[in-house]
Amino acid sequence: MAGLVSFFNPKSVAIIGASKAAGKIGNVIVKNMISSGYTGPIFPINPKEQEIEGLACYPAVDKTPMPAELAVLSLPASRTLDAAQQCGISGVKNLVVITAGFKETGKEGLELERRLVETCRKYEMRMTGPNCVGLIDTHTPINASFAAGFPLKGEIAFISQSGAMVLSILDWSYRAGLGFSKFVSLGNKADLTESHFIEDAGQDPNTKVILCYIEDVENGAHFLEAARTASRKKPVIILKSGTSQAGAQAASSHTGALAGSDLAYETAFRQCGVIRARSMAELFDLAVAFASQPVPSGGRVAVVTNSGGPGIIAADTIEQKKLQMARFTQETIEQLRGNLPRESNIYNPVDVLGDAKADRFRFSLDKALSDPGVDSALVLVCPTAVTEPVETARALVEMRAAHPEKPLLAAYMGGEKLAEGVKVLEEAKIPCFTFPEPAVSSISGLTGYARTRELPANEQDLSYECSNLKNVKAILYDVRKDKRLVLLGSEAAEVVEAYGIPAAPTTLAASPGEAAESAGRLGYPVVLKIASPEILHKSDVGGVLIGLDSPERVRAGFLEIMNNVHRYLPNAAVYGVEVQKMMPKGTELIIGMSKDIQFGPLIAFGLGGIYVNLLKDVSFRLASGLNRGEIENMLAETKAYTLLRGYRGEKPADIEAIIGIIGRVARLVTDFPEITEMDINPVFAYNQGACALDVKITVS
Amino acid sequence: MAGLVSFFNPKSVAIIGASKAAGKIGNVIVKNMISSGYTGPIFPINPKEQEIEGLACYPAVDKTPMPAELAVLSLPASRTLDAAQQCGISGVKNLVVITAGFKETGKEGLELERRLVETCRKYEMRMTGPNCVGLIDTHTPINASFAAGFPLKGEIAFISQSGAMVLSILDWSYRAGLGFSKFVSLGNKADLTESHFIEDAGQDPNTKVILCYIEDVENGAHFLEAARTASRKKPVIILKSGTSQAGAQAASSHTGALAGSDLAYETAFRQCGVIRARSMAELFDLAVAFASQPVPSGGRVAVVTNSGGPGIIAADTIEQKKLQMARFTQETIEQLRGNLPRESNIYNPVDVLGDAKADRFRFSLDKALSDPGVDSALVLVCPTAVTEPVETARALVEMRAAHPEKPLLAAYMGGEKLAEGVKVLEEAKIPCFTFPEPAVSSISGLTGYARTRELPANEQDLSYECSNLKNVKAILYDVRKDKRLVLLGSEAAEVVEAYGIPAAPTTLAASPGEAAESAGRLGYPVVLKIASPEILHKSDVGGVLIGLDSPERVRAGFLEIMNNVHRYLPNAAVYGVEVQKMMPKGTELIIGMSKDIQFGPLIAFGLGGIYVNLLKDVSFRLASGLNRGEIENMLAETKAYTLLRGYRGEKPADIEAIIGIIGRVARLVTDFPEITEMDINPVFAYNQGACALDVKITVS
């Protein structure tokens, strides 16, 4: 798609369901279009009216003097389908369907929505909604919505799955002095989704920051692509709700959204560079910071304060947010020492003392911002008897201009006494908070984005390929033919070996003689395991014997296992016994895959063995776009990594071998999407190499 | 101490260092005292003036017409000592020392402060400060501070280690409409500390909520006692800074405070019922909630909203904060179904839809608050075209009155359109936020306090006693005589056994013959370990042999260990070899103790073995006031507990035995404060009983 420019800047707009009655949505939209200053022709459509709000009214969309490029539909759901069809016939390009009464109301509504989309497809129209508040662009300008008001002009695009939130934020934004480039209410996302609008906002020259509120993602692959591309150009900040079980239930009773698991969203956001806001306040704090401040080159923060306590609170928050308190150069320290009173703290946080006037703030801030060891600065002002709130604010404005490459934020801790100073900062677009903590949070968001921008583009730079694709296909063919969902251990081992993952040699034996023969070939000692897709917990039914070191013991073992299993599970389908070479013990890891409904395969890595579920030392990445750097991060997030690097004097494990297995698993599950679940537990990691001991693969 | 009533309600007040010069602190205090409405006599003291601000001025504190009960000192640090002495001689009871230039400035200041305290002690005076802003009580009323203004009258006491924060919060509080009973600026805490003022506020009938900002605690035991007592009567909410390394450094460069570790503070706060605020915003949000709302009987929250999105956000936050979305009774559901539009969500969160007027909010809220399954309610209002912000607010006020036992909070999500409604809520003392998340946080704080109030009083209900105190004393005597800091394994085992902790029988043997004899007595097989206080890692020097099963092997083993150790560490002091009965393997736990500088022994429990430091599955409690319930909580916080209860079909371990060991360790380290560190790692937990395998005890 070339973009949604014609949605936000159409040549002409029809309002179907336009009304003369004040307060009716069909009237509010006409008024909004007029008052927005939109310069193209506006065609109210209503067969019963001649004129609405001073504009000529037309009986139908095909009766307008020129075709409408955009049609805004606000009529009962039952009449929407016909109206859309008329639009299609008369050459309308884009629809904004305000009308509710579709998917969100149940089965009938869902069917109506499906037919609405069909109509759009038929006439090659694109649609926003249904069940939405509409669209606003302050730069066109256009207000194709029933929101009560028009936002201040600015550089933030706000895309929201909740219409009411659009209304809330619009009303709130006046007080906060926050300007927007666009407002988009997504509604039911029947055609256009968050991904389309993120793409569009990414390309929009008037948009500097992309803000989203979403409850789910409509198409995982599209979202990843859109967010990845946009976030390299400008920050994409998302508040995703429905993270809790309770929230997900509320979400489904709301728009019928099937929420993917939060883990997958968390991973997806991280991998495509989205900044995740944890609260509504943080969403907008970050928007303000990004709209006004440069992205710092690192996380070293200088704090200048006229009071010790708030300085300590800032330092605490800086550490919590994984930023660093900047260490000044000797030169900076000398200059501060030479020019501040003796009792001042000249190290970071710089305490200019309660009797500081604006000059001390200006001087200290200038020195801090000039220091090469400082990436951003935070100023804390408490209202003492001599504080000069306005002069100090002006000093900040001056310093912001003198050091344009470093973010500057402030906390003016008080009320009336500081209000005038706060106004000065707001006008100069220096983010100002009442307390230090959210200011530090905002710096943390800015800093995180510096890393995002440098993320490599989506290159699957893992060149792991299958050396024997035919073999894998043949195995999966047999499994399907047998109507099985689970591969035998020997099959699974073959599959991973085809991808270059070293597995303990495993052979399926149908008789005691075959077992002994296999064991001889593999080399003693061996492990015997019952081979049955129906038996998950093999040990529990006497289906495993270890350390068998002679042909005799293997033959006897085969019979013993068969007897045990027949006794416990007389009806289980048994394929024989698997003979596996017994491997030396290594560090036990788990490498696995589960599938997310939106984002596809999710690769897991962590401490393996029987305590996997207890210790939960596991990190995750989407297979989509997984690259070497991400695999390394994935390892580093776990405690297992500490073990692998050589804990308490043990030899380090072969990290390369592990990275290889993770990459190969990602490749395997991408090549074969019918694999729905996979577990290698344990993988033994050795000083040289690694080995998959037990491979479970489930297919659909 | 009987209380600080005479500090906040003195019969007469002298201001030493009173000044005529506007803007000078000595002048501001006089003006503040007058304008506060204080009804007792005020005596400005200044030898150079006859009159200040219309009050007769006296040349010295002993020249006033009647003795001053409280003296506020604001003169140079160098003259403070003399002034304090004069106060003492002339019968002043209490001092508020505003003057800075003491401990916070270095060594000389510290000495001056020490002498100031000495003077107070000599004349039995109590002192707040030095280096503080002063005290305010709105109920007396009195303003013995240089703060610019007088707080609104209310029921919140704010005790702050940061003077500037007092000024900030005072200025900010007007805008927030927040009233206070007291403001206390602690300053350097040379005499009176946070603990004294928490005690006082706990007894103050005008104080309903105690708020503190502290950077450290002056006296751990006093704090625990004061906070424990006060928090059972009213909520004690503390923001403790200096939690980070950076923050702690900033703290020590600020007031020279030696910050205890944050873990100890966290544990102390929890054990004495303090509600810990995580940010300044949360501190005051909680204050507002507690000052205006009842404590709910549980965590089941009902949400009523006119928009789905914010409802989901609220539900997410409710789960994150470990509250529950209330489940309505069938009756409530039927009533909602019968009276709300068909499209409404009648389950929790109740979505009354965007076109809801006040009546739908009122009806739904009434039904929700009447439901026995609901403990508190949150109302979310977005500004749609038909929303009635003021009417809706009035409905909330009505419902608050109709259901006085259940907290009611609101988020009015918008700006100007909702402002009048917000005002109505503020006046009615219904906490109102812009976004849902902090409202849920506040409900979480209220709910947590319900549990605190029910905490048992500080009874050391653990009746574990030492059966052989003489033996323990004798061992510790020998250790001290030897000038050792570490007990031998056999000594440590004897010590814990004296407290009823089962330890693997261990004997010290000086010769091969003695070793064999001991082994015969203990029973085979045995473990031999080198006995030397200088050797920490015994295995590394060949100092451990396991599984020795005959007298011959024990004799040979003795010699082998001695040889190994002599080879590796020819100069180590060796006491012989310890013979320990080899115990069957159990679940490996660690039970230990480390000492906090403020709060004393901190008991640790968790997964033991060599991965202790990797897995960090350890929970902590202060030995002070540790009771059975707390030990149970301590177990339940760990993953080890999952293992102990019988993981993956294993038999459960003897939880009683483990509780016993933890309680006995707490008793031991309380009885013998010279024990500075202790580790039992591993403790083997069995299906029946438990056994200490390796006990390390360090003394000072």
Calculate what percentage of chain B has a pLDDT beyond 90: 82
Q: Which residues lie closer than 8 Å to A163 by C-beta, 6 or more apart?
A: A131, A132, A133, A185, A187, B307, B354
Q: Which of B125, B132, B183, B128 is nearest to B159 (CA)?
A: B183
Among B23, B309, B648, the residue with its CB nearest the CB of A162 is B309
User: Is A319–B437 a contact, with Cβ atoms under 8 angstroms apart?
Assistant: no
Q: Which of A63-72, A181-190, B385-394, B538-547 bottoms out in mean pLDDT, i.e. has the lowest?
A: B538-547
pLDDT score of A459: 55
Which residue from B minimizes the CA distance to A540? Answer: B649
Among B164, B279, B310, the residue with its CB nearest the CB of A384 is B164
Distance (Å, whole) CA A594 – CA A669: 10
User: Is A251–B438 a contact, with Cβ atoms under 8 angstroms apart?
Assistant: no
| Confidence band of B571 (pLDDT split at 50, 70, 90) | confident
Q: Which CATH number fits domain B1-132: 3.30.530.20, 3.40.50.2300, 1.10.357.10, 3.40.50.720?
A: 3.40.50.720
| Confidence band of B381 (pLDDT split at 50, 70, 90) | very high
* Amino acid sitting at position B206: N
- Is pLDDT larger for residue A247 or for residue B224? B224
User: Is A176–B246 a contact, with Cβ atoms under 8 angstroms apart?
Assistant: no
Residues of B in contact with A384 (CB under 8 A): 164, 167
Report in angstroms the alpha-carbon separations of A42 from A39, A57, A79, A129, B84: 9, 9, 21, 20, 82
Residue B53: pLDDT above 60?
yes
Domains B1-132 and B151-292 share a fold: yes
User: Is B172–A415 a contact, with Cβ atoms under 8 angstroms apart?
Assistant: yes
Calculate what percentage of chain B has a pLDDT beyond 70: 96
Q: What is the mean pLDDT of residues A181-201?
A: 97
User: Is A308–B105 a contact, with Cβ atoms under 8 angstroms apart?
Assistant: no
Among A251, A309, A318, the residue with its CB nearest the CB of B164 is A309
pLDDT score of B114: 97
Query: Residue B521: exposed, middle, or buried by beta-carbon count in 10 A (0-12, 13-18, 19+)?
Result: exposed
> Tokens 């040699």 label which residue?
A505
Residues of A in contact with B611 (CB under 8 A): 647
Taking only the tens place, the pLDDT of each residue in A159-190 is 999 999 999 999 999 988 899 999 999 999 99
Residue B2: pLDDT above 60?
no
Taking only the tens place, the pLDDT of each residue in B112-155 is 999 999 999 999 999 999 999 999 999 999 999 999 899 999 99
Q: Are strands B587-596 and B675-685 parallel, antiparallel or unpaired?
A: antiparallel
Q: Are strands B275-276 and B324-325 parallel, antiparallel or unpaired?
A: unpaired
Taking only the tens place, the pLDDT of each residue in A47-79 is 999 999 999 999 999 999 999 999 999 999 999
pLDDT score of A246: 64
Residues of B in contact with A587 (CB under 8 A): none
Distance (Å, whole) CA B261 – CA B242: 9
Residues of A in contact with B167 (CB under 8 A): 382-384, 414
Cβ pairs A/B, distance under 8 A: 252
Length of chain B, please? 700
Residue A456: pLDDT above 80?
no
Among A164, A437, A611, the residue with its CB nearest the CB of B309 is A164
CATH topology of domain B469-581: Dna Ligase; domain 1 (3.30.1490)
Among A23, A615, A642, the residue with its CB nearest the CB of B639 is A615
| Confidence band of A244 (pLDDT split at 50, 70, 90) | confident
Widest CA span of chain B, in angstroms?
A: 100
User: Is B174–A643 a contact, with Cβ atoms under 8 angstroms apart?
Assistant: no
Q: What is the mean pLDDT of residues A590-609?
A: 91
Interface test with A, best of B252, B261, B312 (most A CBs within 10 A): B312
pLDDT score of A255: 43
Q: Please name the CATH architecture into which domain A587-699 falls.
A: 2-Layer Sandwich (3.30)
Residue B598: pLDDT above 90?
no
- Is pLDDT larger for residue B613 or for residue B157? B157
Residues of A in contact with B309 (CB under 8 A): 160-162, 164-165, 213, 215, 241, 254
User: Is B384–A167 a contact, with Cβ atoms under 8 angstroms apart?
Assistant: yes
Residues of A in contact with B105 (CB under 8 A): 343
Among B25, B318, B345, the residue with its CB nearest the CB of A253 is B345
Residues of A in contact with B28 (CB under 8 A): 385
Calculate what percentage of chain A has a pLDDT beyond 70: 96
* Min Cα separation B345/chain A (Å): 7
* Min Cα separation A320/chain B (Å): 7
pLDDT score of A222: 95
**Which sign, positive or negative, has the C-alpha torsion B677, B678, B681, B686?**
negative
Residues of A in contact with B317 (CB under 8 A): 279
Return the CATH class of domain A1-131: alpha beta
Distance (Å, whole) CA A387 – CA A395: 13
**Adjacent-strand bridge partners of B94:** B70, B126
* Min Cα separation A88/chain B (Å): 30
Residue B399: pLDDT above 90?
yes
Q: What is the mean pLDDT of residues A390-406?
A: 98
Domain ranges, ordered by start, for chain A: 1-131, 151-292, 296-453, 469-581, 587-699
Interface test with A, best of B19, B133, B286, B313 (most A CBs within 10 A): B313
Which residue from A minimizes the CA distance to B215? Answer: A309
pLDDT score of A257: 44
| Average pLDDT of the residues of chain B | 92
Q: What is the mean pLDDT of residues B252-256?
A: 47
User: Is A168–B307 a contact, with Cβ atoms under 8 angstroms apart?
Assistant: yes
Taking only the tens place, the pLDDT of each residue in A4-43 is 999 999 999 999 999 999 989 999 999 999 999 999 999 9
Which residue from A minimizes the CA distance to B386? Answer: A23
Which residue from B minimizes the CA distance to A643? Answer: B614
Q: Cβ(A424)–Cβ(A393) under 8 Å? A: yes
Distance (Å, whole) CA B30 – CA B44: 7
Q: What is the mean pLDDT of residues B436-457?
A: 87
Which residue from A minimizes the CA distance to B173? Answer: A415
pLDDT score of B462: 65
- Is pLDDT larger for residue A388 or for residue A464? A388
User: Is A309–B167 a contact, with Cβ atoms under 8 angstroms apart?
Assistant: no
Residue B260: pLDDT above 60?
no
Taking only the tens place, the pLDDT of each residue in B633-681 is 999 999 999 999 988 778 899 999 999 999 999 999 999 999 999 999 8
Q: Which of A121, A120, A144, A140 is nearest to A132 (CA)?
A: A144
User: Is B310–A168 a contact, with Cβ atoms under 8 angstroms apart?
Assistant: yes
Distance (Å, whole) CA A180 – CA B577: 78
Residues of B in contact with A313 (CB under 8 A): 239, 241, 247, 280
> Tokens 């002048």 label which residue?
B27
State ipTM: 0.91
Distance (Å, whole) CA B144 – CA B4: 14
Q: Which of A445-459, A645-659, B265-279, B594-608 bottoms out in mean pLDDT, i.e. has the lowest?
A: A445-459
Residues of A in contact with B281 (CB under 8 A): 434-435, 437-438
Q: Cβ(A15)–Cβ(A142) under 8 Å? A: no
Distance (Å, whole) CA B506 – CA B680: 14
Residues of A in contact with B251 (CB under 8 A): 308, 312
pLDDT score of A426: 93
User: Is A254–B308 a contact, with Cβ atoms under 8 angstroms apart?
Assistant: yes
CATH topology of domain A296-453: Rossmann fold (3.40.50)
Residues of B in contact with A320 (CB under 8 A): 243-244
Q: Residue B133 gets which letter from DSSP?
A: -
Residue B257: pLDDT above 50?
no
| Confidence band of B255 (pLDDT split at 50, 70, 90) | very low
Dihedrals phi, psi of B575, to nearest 5 degrees: -95, -5
Distance (Å, whole) CA B64 – CA B53: 17
Dihedrals phi, psi of A699, to nearest 5 degrees: -120, 170
Return the CATH class of domain B294-453: alpha beta
Q: Which of A287, A276, A202 is nearest to A239 (CA)?
A: A276
Q: Which residues lie closer than 8 Å to A342 by C-beta, 6 or more apart?
A: none
Interface test with B, best of A162, A316, A378 (most B CBs within 10 A): A316
DSSP string, A159-196: EES-HHHHHHHHHHHHHHT-EEEEEEE-TT-SSS-HHH
Report in angstroms the alpha-carbon separations of B502 from A217, A502, A543, B585, B690: 58, 47, 39, 15, 7
User: Is B241–A643 a contact, with Cβ atoms under 8 angstroms apart?
Assistant: no
Q: Cβ(A627)–Cβ(A619) under 8 Å? A: no
Q: Residue A244 gets which letter from DSSP?
A: S
User: Is A175–B25 a contact, with Cβ atoms under 8 angstroms apart?
Assistant: no
Query: Residue A157: exposed, middle, or buried by beta-carbon count in 10 A (0-12, 13-18, 19+)?
Result: buried
pLDDT score of A256: 41
Residues of A in contact with B614 (CB under 8 A): 639, 642-643, 647
Q: Cβ(B445)–Cβ(B290) under 8 Å? A: yes
**How crowded is residue A564: how many other Cβ atoms within 10 Å of its Cβ?**
17
CATH number for the segment(s) A151-292: 3.40.50.261
**Which sign, positive or negative, has the C-alpha torsion A46, A47, A49, A55?**
positive
Q: What is the mean pLDDT of residues A696-700?
A: 92
| Confidence band of B407 (pLDDT split at 50, 70, 90) | very high
User: Is B384–A164 a contact, with Cβ atoms under 8 angstroms apart?
Assistant: yes
Distance (Å, whole) CA A367 – CA A370: 5
Taking only the tens place, the pLDDT of each residue in A524-556 is 999 999 998 888 778 888 899 999 999 999 999
Which regions of B482-614 does DSSP assign to beta strands (E)? 506-509, 526-531, 544-548, 576-581, 587-596, 600-607
* Min Cα separation A11/chain B (Å): 29
Among A176, A316, A614, the residue with its CB nearest the CB of B241 is A316
Q: Which of B85, B145, B87 is nearest to B116 (CA)?
A: B85
Residues of B in contact with A319 (CB under 8 A): 243-247
Q: What is the mean pLDDT of residues B221-233?
A: 94
Q: Are strands B432-433 and B408-412 parallel, antiparallel or unpaired?
A: parallel
Crossing angle of helices A436-453/A220-233, nearest 10°? 100
Residue A1: pLDDT above 50?
no
